[in-house]
Chain A
């Protein structure tokens, strides 16, 4: 597996949506770790939601090597890139950024064939229209992970072969990990 290749391809993919300023991604690459870690300083003004792009983050501190944010319709292509590199899917999950009125879908990829390499791909979708294409075509194991994410966040994975409740009872009508969930 060629790490640099994967990084290059993911970078290209992430910047596809915003071709007008390709330097931004490069700038974010250096500035973002500090920006993230120095979150306290900016407490007064909540930080802007992150722009799409690729960050190479500090592995020792964060536990991942590469952090890519892509547009929702690019997750399948991102999955294809890491699949071609022989990586495996560890998990799919979501995060509810209720203040930004957005949901984030997070894909964790890892390389199991040798030296450790972890890539996290994330995509943000609006909360009230939570649709994102499924990656089950690429990684069959995403099936259950996506169903679980649907359980907890109500995210609709378009094209999923069997988007039913997996862990929650089949007749429940709530999504417990949404931040506005108030118990049932």
Chain B
């Protein structure tokens, strides 16, 4: 009996998560287009539905009804699997994310590890897609994506270890619990033994931009150099899945930053403030969407970096800083805590 309820619960969670991921990814496209429009003094989509709100559905219908073209000479199995690999791990990660104190599909003790394990599959999909396309631009793009991901995964993990050190847990809920309270308790400020908090936060944010291949680090799909990069040869829903996967990854990254640095579902105000002071899922979502907006704004503001300056940034600035940060925090935790 328990098992049956568990299964039903599990299925419900699964449906909810896939729905959440899909809707977020689809509407992020709308936010991006609408946002880009207004940033550039245009209106963005406005014809399909009020304020163009039905545009993502129209786009989806169009992508799904398009013919799936498999160019001659591609490595067919790899070519087909790559877009799936872009989307599926992204959905899987949502399983471990705690949106509020109780709203989590699977509360896993090693949640952080699970996230990084699945997130690292993403680069594999880019590599597979680029390689299988048998297109020179796609291959260059795949090579870029791999070197970029390798370079940025190191500081990303080192900084995560710092947070784990000060929080004392790999469980995402525990990490949020350790930041309980108003905003000065959160990890982005020099609290809880991590006195380089703000720098860690900014560096983590940069790494997350690079890991999700977002501008200004979108070297893999630098359209003025590599046309569309690894998905040059993809059309129809193959492209659609890459696209959705990219946006799902943005949601995940933002959610992760909210959990690690911005106090998860806790309100930024002290609890004595009426109404605004209470914690809840809305605070989580608000923080997450603000971060996403920042990502969108960055994309439409900056030019793209080159590969060498991207790698320089990682090896010369981020990795030394994050290692120093880790040592300092470890020392502080050891001597103070």
Asked if A and B touch directly (CB within 8 angstroms), the answer is: no
Q: Which residues of A contact B (CB under 8 A)?
A: none
